[in-house]
Structure 1
Amino acid sequence: MNRRSALFLCAFAALLGLAPPARAEDGLDAIMARKVIRIAVPTDYPPYGFVGPDLKPQGLDIAMAELIAEKMGVKAELVSVTSANRIPYLQTGKVDLIISTLGKNAEREKVLDFSYAYAPFFQAVFGGKSVAVKGPADMAGKTVAVTRGAMEDQELEKVTPPGVVVKRYEDNAATASAYVAGQTQLVAISAAAAGTIMQMNPATNTEFKFLIKDSPCFVGIAKGDERLRAKVNAIILAAKADGTLNAMSQKWLGRPVGELPQ
């Protein structure tokens, strides 16, 4: 094919709409253009995210989402998600960020990027005092509730011995309810959520059994969106330096923010 023929075919393809698409604006450009940042948040996971008496979302993750929007000078559009759908929401462009007690691991790093950590978090197995469990091996022959797709689900799978009946539920509220109702003997859940169970349902005599994962919270960002990631990191670093992150942790978790990884 000569040069003239090649140019003709390129022009013909353009007329048919077959030309390569123009470079899409990155996440930060899109957010600033619409003046709205869409953030995936939990609404069933106190004290990180839940619906208050005024029917509005509140909690540590909600406060973090609002802080990022404020510092960027845009409006926060909060999108309620579950552990199972939060990453797909980011991958399909339904949200710009995930701020939903998101832990970092190698599998997740293949499909999304992470900010610096902004809050402490850990998962563990809890159960009634009468249930003799001190480690993974002791779970054999017992039932345990866990939220499908959550970090504790992934970590529990790594240590679960044969003979354990794992019952998976679609969100944290359903997981906690199943355990409280006696459908399982144990529950794999965050320490914060377990604290709520202990407070609201003292008759369960729930106590800490063993640690699954110490997993601080990170903001999830679309893979390769470096400008947005840098902006979020700058906001987190400033909030850490001026005491905002510590104040948020004290308010919602009752503990200092501590050392957080970058």
Structure 2
Amino acid sequence: MNRSSKKHSLFVMALFSVILVLALAACGNAAPAAEVNTDAGAQVATSDGTQSLDRIKSEGKIRIAIPQDTPLFGTQTADGSYEGYDVDIANLIGEEMGVEVELVPVSSANRIPYLSSGRVDLVVANMGVQPARAEVIAFSNAYAPFFWAVFGPASIEASTVEDTVPYKVGATLGTMEELAFTAAAEELGVEIVRYPDQATTAQAFISGQVDLIVTGNSIAAGLMRDNPEMGIESKFVIQQSPCHIGALRGETAIIDWVNAFIYTKKLNGTLDELSIKWFGEPLPEFPEF
């Protein structure tokens, strides 16, 4: 091989090496696609534990996923803005952190993919804890109430399933709360009147076709707000399913910050005030997490 050919070969090899290094670097920096169904337990990259909090403070902005179609937690208003318990919590986080808040409306299906793909920093969207989700994201302590309970007017005293025996109890067919109450009450002879959807169940209760109603606290809060003359209150809880704030797995610094935020806002009564504003009752005692 002559000197000219040898130089040409060395140049080609060097060029190939540079291209290979650049290609590998590009692959390593590629973000996961938003369409990946991380809610089903797909694995995502973790951080060193401080990345998000440091970046948020540096940029002066935090991106928070909020629900867009969940009454009382987060819905869109006629003017295009969003309101609800979770929206208030998201704005309060930004205020406490001293940064601008970018609210990112999400559905139940895409809230975790938005987090794992880096489109949001936190998920504040009435999300419950599940073991499969914990393989993908990190959860804060509970910050919001969500539970299934028996509700009724103050004139009815009922603190146990046994106390409902003399009454007609309305429930929505096939829901988790209906199945749970049926399992506990059917053998006692409780008359359970089942309706095909939540709206029909609520209307049956308001019109007096049933004496008590089995439903979630968010639906009950709407009934309390719209029918104050009935004096509706929760009689007893069937099952707790409190809401937690989600962050990228491994982001220990921001989860620690969020837990401190929740703790202090519980102590000073802020979370109770927001719970009363949206759900008609102060926060219940949450199970330990």
Bin for the TM-score computed over the shorter chain: 0.5 to 0.7
Report the Cα distance in structure 1 between the residues aligned to 2:55 and 2:279, rounded to whole angstroms.
33
CA distance 1:75–1:177, change in 2 (3 Å): farther
Matching residue within 256, 266, 277 for 1:251: 277
Q: Quick check: which has more Rg, 1 or 2?
A: 2
Report the Cα distance in structure 1 between the residues aligned to 2:225 and 2:19, rounded to whole angstroms.
66
Matching residue within 245, 250, 262 for 1:224: 250
Report the Cα distance in structure 2 between the residues aligned to 1:158 and 1:33, rounded to whole angstroms.
48
Counterpart in the other structure of 1:191 = 217
Counterpart in the other structure of 2:60 = 35
Given that 2:67 and 2:73 are in contact with CA atoms closer than 8 Å, whether structure 1 keeps it comes out as yes
Question: What is the deviation of 1:215?
Answer: 0.9
Counterpart in the other structure of 1:78 = 103
Q: How many residues align?
A: 220
The amino acid that maps onto 1:82 is: S
Report the Cα distance in structure 2 between the residues aligned to 1:158 and 1:257, rounded to whole angstroms.
23
Unmatched segments (≥5 aa) in structure 1: 1-7, 127-133, 135-141, 147-151, 162-166, 168-174, 182-187, 202-207
Given that 2:66 and 2:124 are in contact with CA atoms closer than 8 Å, whether structure 1 keeps it comes out as yes
Higher mean alpha-carbon deviation, 189-198 vs 215-224, is at: 189-198
Question: What is the deviation of 1:52?
Answer: 3.7
Counterpart in the other structure of 2:146 = 121
Given that 1:38 and 1:95 are in contact with CA atoms closer than 8 Å, whether structure 2 keeps it comes out as yes
**Structure 1 length normalisation: TM-score?**
0.63
The amino acid that maps onto 1:74 is: V
CA distance 1:124–1:247, change in 2 (3 Å): closer
Alpha carbon RMSD of aligned pairs, Å?
4.3
The amino acid that maps onto 1:232 is: V
Question: What is the deviation of 1:56?
Answer: 2.1
Higher mean alpha-carbon deviation, 223-232 vs 13-22, is at: 13-22
Provide the identity percentage.
Answer: 39
Question: What is the deviation of 1:225?
Answer: 0.9
Counterpart in the other structure of 2:119 = 94
Matching residue within 85, 107, 113 for 1:60: 85
Runs of 4 or more off by more than 4 Å in structure 1? Answer: 11-15, 19-25, 142-146, 155-161, 175-181, 197-201
The amino acid that maps onto 1:257 is: L
Given that 1:40 and 1:95 are in contact with CA atoms closer than 8 Å, whether structure 2 keeps it comes out as yes
How is 1:136-147 mapped onto 2 (pairs within 5 angstroms)? 144=173
**Structure 2 length normalisation: TM-score?**
0.58
| In the alignment, structure 1 residue 18 sits paired with structure 2 residue 24 | yes
